[in-house]
Amino acid sequence: MPDTPPPAPEGPGPDPDPGRRVSTPGGPGPAGAPIAASAHGRPGGGSRRASGAEALPYARERADVVGAVRALVADRLVVGTAGNVSVRTGDGAVAVTPSAVDYGALTPGLVGVHAADGTALDAPLRPTSELGLHLAVYARTSARAVVHTHSPAATALSVLVPEVPPVHYYLALFGGRVPVVPYAPYGGPELAAAAAGALAGGSACLLGNHGAVVTGASLDQAVERAGYLEWVCDVALRALSAVPGQARAPRLLTPAEMAEAVERISGYRPGPPQADG
């Protein structure tokens, strides 16, 4: 893999207002949907307890997680439970989406908070199967938030190319390049390590035959970047299909890989945290 350029700064993206997000790219580049007010606030500096009568630990971060997944669903970057998000708290913990809970029914009280080693600090349900990926990214980068989606264009492009082709300058938002991590079973240590390594040089990567991972200095920024990445991947797919002779055979899962995925998904349902974390 070629050397990566310095990562993009973890500051605001094209929209300088941190309290706003972008549903689809617009503004300085090609025409797109207008910038809309954020459906969720910015993560705080570790609000372990909310003020007043609210006693839910890390209430602000948990509410931000709920707002982020609802924004991703509204932008059609996530369907059902197909994706996960997390945000760092001020004391080093991580608020993260639970496993197998439909995001339309997600509430702050169902969002789990885990230590950097994965130990449940305040979690009524099992965390996302990709908790290890989120924790590995935080261990390797300065990111404050992680968004993982199975968005269509990013997933489709991930089976065709080794990295997102530089079809547009918006790649600069992610450090100049977005590599594609080879396929590995979801929820496993191999995928977590590979994604964290790819994100050490930028703020986005694709997961082969799987989806995308984007980081940010806040959940607002990570959600915004996920929208820009999906747009760039869609442009790349259109460009690749428009050139005669450029059709590429997709990388398909092998029967063994599919059988392993079937076995893993068979146990995909909500439940309490496991004793071993």
Give the tens place of pLDDT for each residue, 124-174: 999 999 999 999 999 999 999 999 999 999 999 999 999 999 999 999 999
Q: Is the pLDDT of residue 11 over 70?
A: no
Return the pLDDT at 54: 58
33 within some domain: no
Q: pLDDT band for 75, please (50, 70, 90 cuts).
A: very high
7 within some domain: no
Query: Looking at residues 69-91, what average pLDDT do you find?
Result: 96
**In contact, 83 and 72? CB cutoff 8 Å:** yes
* Range(s) of the domain holding residue 217: 43-261
Q: So which residues are the catalytic ones?
A: 130
212 within some domain: yes
Q: Is the pLDDT of residue 10 over 60?
A: no
Strand partners, 57: 49
Pick from 52-56, 241-245, 255-259, 272-276 the range whose average pLDDT is largest: 255-259
Closest CA to 109 of 52, 54, 40, 33: 54
Q: pLDDT band for 32, please (50, 70, 90 cuts).
A: very low
Query: Looking at residues 4-19, what average pLDDT do you find?
Result: 40
**In contact, 105 and 98? CB cutoff 8 Å:** no
DSSP state of 25: -
How many independent structural domains does the chain possess?
1
Query: What mean pLDDT, rounded, does the chain reach?
Result: 83
Give the tens place of pLDDT for each residue, 162-206: 999 999 999 999 999 999 999 999 999 999 999 999 999 999 999
Residue type, 86: S
30 within some domain: no
219 within some domain: yes
207 vs 155: CA distance, rounded Å: 8
104 within some domain: yes
CATH code, 224: 3.40.225.10
208 within some domain: yes
Q: In this structure, how many other beta carbons lie within 10 angstroms of the beta carbon of residue 55?
A: 8
23 within some domain: no
**Residues sharing a CB contact under 8 Å with residue 253, sequence separation 6 or more, in sequence order:** 183, 209, 261
Return the pLDDT at 272: 79
Q: pLDDT band for 265, please (50, 70, 90 cuts).
A: confident
DSSP string covering 108-166, please? Answer: GGGSEEE-TTS-EEE-SSPBPTTHHHHHHHHHHS--SEEEEE--HHHHHHHTT-SB---
Give the tens place of pLDDT for each residue, 226-257: 999 999 999 999 999 987 776 678 888 999 99
